[in-house]
A and B are shown apart, each in its own frame.
Chain A
Amino acid sequence: MIPFILGRLVKAGFILLAILVFNFLLIHAAPGDPAAVMAGEAGAADAKFLADLRERFGLDQPLYIQLWTYLKGAVQLDLGFSYRQQMPVSELIASRLPATLLLTGVAFVLSLVLGVTAGVAASARQGSWGDTIISMLALLFYATPLFWVALMASLVFSVWLGWLPGFGYETIGAGYTGIEHVLDVAKHLVLPATTLGLFFMAIYMRMTRASMLEVSRLDFVKTARAKGLKRSVIQRRHILRNALLPVITLAGLQAGQIFGGAILTETVFAWPGIGRLMFEAINQRDYAVILGVFYISGAMVLLFNLITDVIYVIVDPRIRLTA
C-alpha cells in the first residue's frame, strides 16, 4: 500500500507540473496582458508607462523565462503576487482555502449520504410510488441550475422566513468565540452546503439505485437467500456493499466537479472561499490568482482521486494495486 501511494504521489507531481505549464501557456495565449489592463484602468496607456509596468512585473522577458520563474516559485509554493489585492497569492489562497474545504467537504458528505440512502430506499421499492417520488425529487434538484436553487433557498429561508443567514461565513462583528463561533459558522453553512449537496445528490441516488437493482439479480444474492438470511441483512451486507463500488468511482470524479459547483454557490452566498476568490480574480483579470487557484484545485482533484483509489482497494479485494 505504501509504495503504491508513493508511486501515485510522484505521478501526481508530474501531472500537476503539466497542469501548471498548460494553464500558464493558456493564459498567455489570451490577447492583452495584465500590464495593458492595468494601464488601461489607470487611464495612462502611453507606451512608456506600459513598458515600465512590463519591466516591473517581468513581462518583458521571453515567455520561457517567465514560465521558468513561475515554475521555480510554484514548486516552493510561491505563486506570485496579486497586484489587485496587494498580497502574495499563496497567502491569499491559504486564507480562503479552509472556508472552501469546509463547504465542499460538508456538501460532498451530505450528497453522498443522502444520495446513497435515497438510492437504497428507491431500489427497495422499485416501481412503487415511493420510488417515483424519490427519483423525481432527485432529478428536480439536478435539472435546476445551481445558482437558481441557491437564490431561491436564500430568498425563502433567509429573506422570507428569516430562519437562516443568507450570506457570509460568520456574523460580522459579533465576536463569537468557542462553541458559539462554531454554531454561528454552522448556521451560515446550512444553506450553501445543502444547495451544493442536493445538486450532486441526484447523481449518487441514480447510480446507487441502478447499481443496487443490478447487484440484486446476481447469483450470490440467491445464495444468500438460500442460506435463510433476512432480507435486510442481504440488502446491507451483500447487495449494498457490492453496489457501492461504482458509486465510489463516481464520487472520486465528482469530488473535482464539486469545486466547480463551489464557485457558483460561494458567489451567491458570499462565502469567502477560493471559488469566490476565483470569480473576483476573473473579473479583475488577476492572472496570478487565477493560476494559483487552478494549481490548488488541480492538486485537490488529484488528491481526491488518490483517496478514491485507496478506498477502492480497501473495499474490493480483487483490485490489485497498480500505480
Chain B
Amino acid sequence: MSLLSIRDLAIALPGGADRRYAAKDINFDLAAGEILCIVGESGSGKSMSANAVMGLLPEGVNAVGGTITFDGQDILGLSEQQMMALRGRRISMIFQEPLSALNPLMRVGAQIAEVFEAHGELVGSERRARALTLLKEVGIPDPESAIRAYPFQLSGGQRQRVMIAMALALEPEILIADEPTTALDVTTQAQILELIEDLRRSRGMAVIFITHDFGVVADIADRVIVMQTGTIVETGTADEVLLKPQHPYTRALIDAIPRLTRHDEVAPIDRKTVLTVEGLNKTFSTSSGTFFGKRRVVKAVQDVSFELYSGETIGIVGESGSGKSTVGRCLVRLINPDTGRVMVDGADIAHMSGADLRDQRRKMQMIFQDPFSSLNPRARVSRILTEGLIAHNVPIADAMVKARALLEMVGLDPSAMGRFPHEFSGGQRQRIGIARALALDPSIIIADEAVSALDVSIQAQVLDLLADLKTRLNLSMLFITHDLRVAARICDRIIVMQKGRIVEVGPTGKVLHDPDTAYTRSLLDAIPGQDYERALAKAE
C-alpha cells in the first residue's frame, strides 16, 4: 500500500499559455521511506506536479482531472481548511532558493516556531526549544546564535538547513524538495544531500526530489520519473532509468551531461600571450559611515596572476565568494582593481581611463550568467547588437548588416532582429548575449557562469557553440564557472580559486584527475554522480 498515489492527474494552464496542460496523464506512487526523483528540464511540469500535491499551484493554474490519494483521501477534493491542516504537518516542502524562501524580516527561530503555531502545537517557550533542537539536528553550526539570526546573516547552505528544519518540525510523512540544491555550491550540495538521505533513513520519511541534475539523481534516488513537456516519458528504478534508459529523450538528457572524464585534449597552442594579469588585488570595504563604527573589509581578489594564450580557454572555478567573478569584472573594468596590471596587446587596461579605455574595451567582451536580466527588456535585438558598434563609430547600416551576420553565426534567424528579449527562450537569449559579445570583434571572451542558468541539453548546445566560435574566430576565453563538469568539457587549463586566491593552476586533465591541493580534491569529491559516471563509462 503506497503512501501517496497519483492517478491521471491533469493540471491546466490558464488560457493564452503555450500549451493547454502544465502536466497531463501523471501516474505514480510513492512508498513510505522512498526517495523518488522527478527529473526534467524547465517547463517539463515537474514542479507543477509536486505543487499540486501541496495544493500550492500558482493562481490560474488548476488540477482539472485525476486524483491524488494520500492516506485514503483524495487531496484534490479537500477544502482549503483541510489542506491547511495537511501542509507542514503531514506533507512539507522546501524550495530552490532558500534566501527568497525565508521571510527577510523575521528571525530564523520565529519562522520555525511558526510551524508549531500554525498547527496549534506546544506553547511559546517549548516552540523555541524545539526549534533549537531542530537546528541542531540539521547540523547548523552554533544553533544558539543561528536561532536569533535573520536569513541574510546565514550562508546559503545554512539557510537551506533552516528550511529543512522548518519542513521537518512536525515530522511529516512526505517531504517535497523542489530543486533544493541547485542554488548551492557543490560542497554544500553534497552536505545537504547527505542530510536529506540521513533524515529519510532515521525518520522513514518519503521524499519527492525534483531536480534537473542527473548526478544528484544517481546519488540519492530509489526510483526515477523523467518528464518532458508535461508528460511522464519514463519511470523505473534508479538503475534502470540511469543505466538502461528506454526513451530517446532520457537518453538524450543523459548524453548531454558534461563528463568529468571526457574533455578534449589540449589543442596545440602557439603560445602567443593575449592577456597577462599580474598581481591583481581587489578589496571591498563597507564603510560604517559613522564616526566611531568599524569597517568591514573583504579581500575579494588577492595577488591573482596568470597568462591567457591565444586560442586558449581557461576555466576559473571555485565556490561562491571565491572571487572568481570579481576577477572577471576587474579585467573588463566593470569594477576597478586596487592594484595589479591587466596587459592586453602591450597596454595596461587596469589603469586606463576615458577614450583609451573605451577603445581597449572592445578587445575583451563579457557574457553574463542570467540571460533574462542581462538583456535590456525594452530594447529590440537589433539595438542590443548594434549599440556597441554604433558607439565605436560604425555607420548604422553597416552595424545592421553585421548584426544579422552575428545572429546567423550563433544559430538564430536574422528575423529575430525586430523582436524583444522576452520573446525568446533562455537558450536563445544566451545566444543573443553571445552575439552581442562578439559584435565588437573581441579577441578575448569572458564568460561568467554563462551556461549555469540553462537546462543540460541547452547547456550542451551553447557549450558546443562557444567551442565552435572559439576555433572559427580564434578567440581566447576565460570561462568562469562553479561547475567542474562544464569546465572539464570546454577548458584547456583550469584555475582553482579559494577565498580570493589562486590555489591551483594546471591543464584540465591534471587538475581534475590528479590535483595538487586538498581544496581542489574536496571540490572534486563533492561532485554528485561520480560512481554513476564510472558505471556509465563501463557500460559504454
Among B98-106, B270-278, B481-489, the stretch that binds chain A is B98-106
Interface residues of A in 93-111 (CB under 8 A from B): none
Contact B114 A227 (CB under 8 A): yes
Binary flags per residue of A199-243, CB closer than 8 Å to B gives 1, else 0: 000000000000000000011101111111110010001100110
Q: Is B150 positioned at the interface, with any CB of A under 8 Å from its CB?
A: yes
Contact B292 A220 (CB under 8 A): no
Q: Is B119 positioned at the interface, with any CB of A under 8 Å from its CB?
A: yes
A320–B295 alpha-carbon span in the complex (Å): 12
Using known A-B contacts A7-B291, A220-B103, A320-B288, determine if residue A227 contacts B87 with beta carbons closer than 8 Å.
Answer: yes
CB distance from B131 to the nearest CB of A (A): 13
Nearest-neighbor residue (CB-CB) of A318 within chain B: B152
Q: Is A43 positioned at the interface, with any CB of B under 8 Å from its CB?
A: no
Contact B166 A321 (CB under 8 A): no
Contact A242 B103 (CB under 8 A): yes
A228–B93 alpha-carbon span in the complex (Å): 11
Chain A residues in 8 Å Cβ range of B102: 220, 223
Chain B residues in 8 Å Cβ range of A320: 286, 288
Binary flags per residue of B94-135, CB closer than 8 Å to A gives 1, else 0: 010100111111100000001101110000000000000000
Nearest-neighbor residue (CB-CB) of A225 within chain B: B56
Chain B residues in 8 Å Cβ range of A229: 84, 88, 114, 117-118
Q: Is A145 positioned at the interface, with any CB of B under 8 Å from its CB?
A: no
Q: Which one of A4, A222, A322 contacts B95 once the chains associate, using CB atoms below 8 Å? A: A222
Q: Is A21 positioned at the interface, with any CB of B under 8 Å from its CB?
A: no
Contact A322 B289 (CB under 8 A): yes
Contact A228 B105 (CB under 8 A): no
CB distance from A65 to the nearest CB of B (A): 34
Nearest-neighbor residue (CB-CB) of B150 within chain A: A317
Q: Is A51 positioned at the interface, with any CB of B under 8 Å from its CB?
A: no
Residues of B in contact, count (CB < 8 Å): 37
Using known A-B contacts A219-B97, A323-B289, determine if residue A228 contacts B103 with beta carbons closer than 8 Å.
Answer: no
Binary flags per residue of A304-323, CB closer than 8 Å to B gives 1, else 0: 00000000000111101111
A222–B114 alpha-carbon span in the complex (Å): 14
Q: Is B335 positioned at the interface, with any CB of A under 8 Å from its CB?
A: no
Chain A residues in 8 Å Cβ range of B119: 228
Nearest-neighbor residue (CB-CB) of A4 within chain B: B290
Contact A322 B288 (CB under 8 A): yes
Q: Is A62 positioned at the interface, with any CB of B under 8 Å from its CB?
A: no
A241–B111 alpha-carbon span in the complex (Å): 14
CB distance from B164 to the nearest CB of A (A): 12
Contact B291 A3 (CB under 8 A): yes
Contact A219 B101 (CB under 8 A): yes
CB distance from A179 to the nearest CB of B (A): 41
Q: Is B92 positioned at the interface, with any CB of A under 8 Å from its CB?
A: yes
Contact B84 A228 (CB under 8 A): yes
Q: Which one of B84, B92, B100, B118 contacts A219 once the chains associate, using CB atoms below 8 Å? A: B100
Nearest-neighbor residue (CB-CB) of A126 within chain B: B59
A272–B95 alpha-carbon span in the complex (Å): 59
Q: Is B85 positioned at the interface, with any CB of A under 8 Å from its CB?
A: yes
A321–B294 alpha-carbon span in the complex (Å): 11
Contact A322 B291 (CB under 8 A): no
Binary flags per residue of A283-323, CB closer than 8 Å to B gives 1, else 0: 00000000000000000000000000000000111101111
Chain B residues in 8 Å Cβ range of A7: 289-291
Chain A residues in 8 Å Cβ range of B287: 322
Chain B residues in 8 Å Cβ range of A6: 290-291
Q: Is B210 positioned at the interface, with any CB of A under 8 Å from its CB?
A: no
Chain A residues in 8 Å Cβ range of B92: 226
Chain B residues in 8 Å Cβ range of A233: 118
CB distance from A50 to the nearest CB of B (A): 51
CB distance from B75 to the nearest CB of A (A): 14
Interface residues of A (CB under 8 A from B): 3-4, 6-7, 218-220, 222-230, 233, 237-238, 241-242, 315-318, 320-323
| 13 CB < 8 A contacts A-B | A4-B289, A4-B290, A222-B95, A223-B93, A225-B56, A226-B54, A226-B93, A227-B87, A229-B88, A242-B103, A317-B152, A320-B286, A321-B288
